Amino acid sequence: MQIKNAKKGKTTKEIKQIAKQENITTKELKRKIAKGQVVIPKNIKREIKKPTGIGKGLTTKVNANIGTSPDYQNIENEIKKAETAINAGADTIMDLSLGKNMQKTLKQLIKKTETPIGTVPLYRAFHKKPIPEITSNHILQTIENHAEMGVDFITIHSGITQEVLQKLNKTNRTMDIVSRGGSLISAWITHHQQENPLHKEFDKILEIASQYDMTLSLGDGMRPGCINDATDKPQLTELQTLSKQVEKCQENNVQVMVEGPGHIPMNEIKFNIEIQKKLCNQAPFYVLGPLVTDIAPGYDHITGAIGGAIAAWHGADHLCYVTPAEHLCLPNKQDVKEGVIASKIAGHAADIANGIKKQKDKEMADARKNLNWEKQIEQAIDPQKPTQLRKQRPTEDPETCSMCSDKCAIKTTEKYLKKTK
């Protein structure tokens, strides 16, 4: 187990690999893991070729969601999307499959994927039975089942309590609940008039997580679904519940991260990160977007990149991608690629702002200055698209580009400015 080992000063294989990737010492990394500031999502039942560290001072990580939907049950397609996401640079994959093939998809994914895999076991719990027939025990069983299958991290909507739902009823929210898992567990609580089993039985979940070293990702079922609902009482009440659960996790050597909004205007992002980090004892923060406007369906990878960049700059550690298909339909492979790249750009921009990663940009600038197109393509976050664009609209002089041709600023400067350096 990563936390226990880190506390003992033992360097696991993953700690060694990640320290190298992140260019920090294993000592520093272990210190952060021991404090709960960094997690390494990895189920003890899995071998992961590309383990990932998520948290304070590390480079920003990106998660891509894939998964079948009731209307689209092709497993092969989803596996391909996962591969596309990983090739584009995704650090973790969440399988959010719904419908009859959900377990098969997850099994294949675990078998074929080299990155950490996350799930929302609630989807399985609510798959076959209608809400009135679902028991608390059944919900816990799906968590155990995913742990046994080797899932590396799970989202549990353990912060939605009867109190939170009362708050929701009293608040004039525009969108109420937009979290899929959040809506399901809220429906269960409301129907059964019982407390959320993910909250009530949290100790049992801790036991399961501990047994498999499965990282818990505390879901934000009350995340605002529109700008108008940002940073309101239901959201903040849920966060307070989550903060107590973080404490429990950290006390019990269970790796934990906290999920966050959602739709948030730019001017409230910093505050959202700060309060989460403060209340949750610096646990890694995993944000969905945030989306800085509601009006761009078809382009929400861009609204998410704006929000994600600002969030990661101010301390968010893990960015859940948003694809152009968000709010509209199940993403296809191309949407997945665009979503991952937009989030990678956001994370990288944040890493630059935080002084972590500038070398790649310097190498790109040198390649541009030298009109070395091969090197530019090589350094690009996605070598494929710039290659295509260059081919589509070439120029007579292959040293330049068809935007400026003989009026290339770099060439003009080289020719006329006799520099003394």
Q: Is the peptide bond before 182 cis (omega within 30 degrees of 0)?
A: no
Q: Which amino acid is at 91?
A: D
Near a copy of itself by CB under 8 A: residue from 75, 187, 236, 371 = 187
Q: By CB under 8 A, tell whether 405 contacts a copy of itself.
A: yes
Q: State the greatest distance between any 2 C-alpha atoms of the chain, in Å, as a whole number.
A: 81
Per-residue DSSP letter, 319: E
Q: By CB under 8 A, tell whether 133 contacts a copy of itself.
A: no
Near a copy of itself by CB under 8 A: residue from 6, 160, 325, 340 = 325
Cα distances from 303 to residues 40, 98, 195, 290, 346, in angstroms, run 28, 26, 36, 8, 11
Nearest to 230 by CA among 267, 183, 200: 267
Near a copy of itself by CB under 8 A: residue from 25, 135, 169, 194 = 169
Neighbours of 150 (CB within 10 A): 20
Least distance to a copy of itself, CB of residue 53, Å:
22
Residues 285-324 that bind a copy of itself (CB under 8 A): 292-299, 301-303, 305-306, 309-310, 313, 324
Nearest to 2 by CA among 267, 256, 266, 379: 256
**DSSP for 239-287, written as a single string:** HHHHHHHHHHHHHTT--EEEEE-SB--HHHHHHHHHHHHHHTTT--EEE
Judged by CB, which is closer to a copy of itself: 200, or 369? 369
In the numeric block, which tokens belong to residue 318?
């893990």
Least distance to a copy of itself, CB of residue 251, Å:
32
Q: By CB under 8 A, tell whether 7 contacts a copy of itself.
A: no
Check residue 408 and give left, alpha or beta (phi > 0: left; psi -120 to 50: alpha).
beta
Least distance to a copy of itself, CB of residue 298, Å:
3
x-or-dash pattern for a copy of itself, window 219-258, by CB under 8 A? Answer: ------xxxxx-----------------------------
Near a copy of itself by CB under 8 A: residue from 63, 179, 237, 245 = 179
**DSSP for 325-387, written as a single string:** TTTTS---HHHHHHHHHHHHHHHHHHHHHTTS--HHHHHHHHHHHTT-HHHHHHHSS-SHHHH
Q: By CB under 8 A, tell whether 404 contacts a copy of itself.
A: yes
Judged by CB, which is closer to a copy of itself: 9, or 298? 298
- Interacting span for a copy of itself (CB under 8 A) from 19-27, 68-76, 145-153, 278-286: 68-76
x-or-dash pattern for a copy of itself, window 20-59, by CB under 8 A? Answer: ----------------------------------------
- Interacting span for a copy of itself (CB under 8 A) from 153-161, 181-189, 212-220, 281-289: 181-189
Q: Is 298 exposed, middle or buried (0-12, 13-18, 19+ CB in 10 A)?
A: exposed
Q: How many residues bind a copy of itself (CB under 8 A)?
A: 116
Judged by CB, which is closer to a copy of itself: 71, or 133? 71
Q: By CB under 8 A, tell whether 265 contacts a copy of itself.
A: yes
Q: Is the peptide bond before 290 cis (omega within 30 degrees of 0)?
A: yes
Residues 6 or more apart whose CB falls under 8 angstroms from that of 364 comprise 376, 379, 380
Residues 338-397 that bind a copy of itself (CB under 8 A): 341-342, 345-346, 348-350, 352-354, 358, 360-362, 364-366, 368-369, 376-377, 379-382, 384-386, 388-390, 392-396
Near a copy of itself by CB under 8 A: residue from 61, 79, 115, 123 = 123
